[in-house]
């Protein structure tokens, strides 16, 4: 008997500072994340990576100090990228 298809779900969590607990902010499927991914060239090889928007969202949700430190650079990179894409 064939196995039923498996669906991978990715959870984006955030820290609730009032209740001192983690809570699920968003549930996303791998297919949804993949649909927003981008292909980049790495020395003649192609890598599929998460979109900059999804990377920013994951770092915001993680709320770790090391992620918070990277957010200004990532947001600025996204702003410049969008400005360059305008016709």
Structural domains in the chain (count): 1
Residue by residue, DSSP assigns 32-65 as HHHHT-EEEEETTEEEEE--HHHHHHHHHHH--H
Instruction: State the Cα–Cα distance between residues 54 and 34, nearest whole angstrom.
Output: 10
Per-residue pLDDT reduced to its tens digit, 38-75: 898 989 999 888 899 988 888 887 778 999 999 999 99
Per-residue pLDDT reduced to its tens digit, 8-20: 445 555 566 666 6
Q: What is the pLDDT of residue 49?
A: 87
Indicate whether 24 belongs to any domain.
Answer: yes
Instruction: State the Cα–Cα distance between residues 70 and 64, nearest whole angstrom.
Output: 10
Instruction: Residue 15: give the domain boundaries.
Output: 9-85
Q: Is the pTM of this model over 0.85?
A: no
Q: What is the pLDDT of residue 72?
A: 96
Indicate whether 2 belongs to any domain.
Answer: no
Indicate whether 43 belongs to any domain.
Answer: yes
Indicate whether 4 belongs to any domain.
Answer: no
Indicate whether 1 belongs to any domain.
Answer: no
Angle between helices 65-85 and 52-62 (to 10 degrees): 160
Q: What is the pLDDT of residue 20?
A: 60
């Amino acid at each position: 008997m064939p196995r039923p298809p498996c669906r991978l779900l990715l959870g984006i969590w955030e820290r609730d500072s009032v209740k001192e607990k983690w809570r699920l902010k968003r549930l996303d499927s791998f297919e949804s994340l993949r649909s927003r991914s981008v292909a980049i060239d790495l020395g003649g090889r192609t890598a599929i990576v998460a979109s900059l928007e999804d990377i920013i969202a994951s770092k915001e949700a993680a709320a770790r100090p090391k992620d918070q430190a990277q957010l200004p650079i990532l947001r600025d990179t996204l702003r410049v990228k969008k400005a360059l894409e305008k016709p």
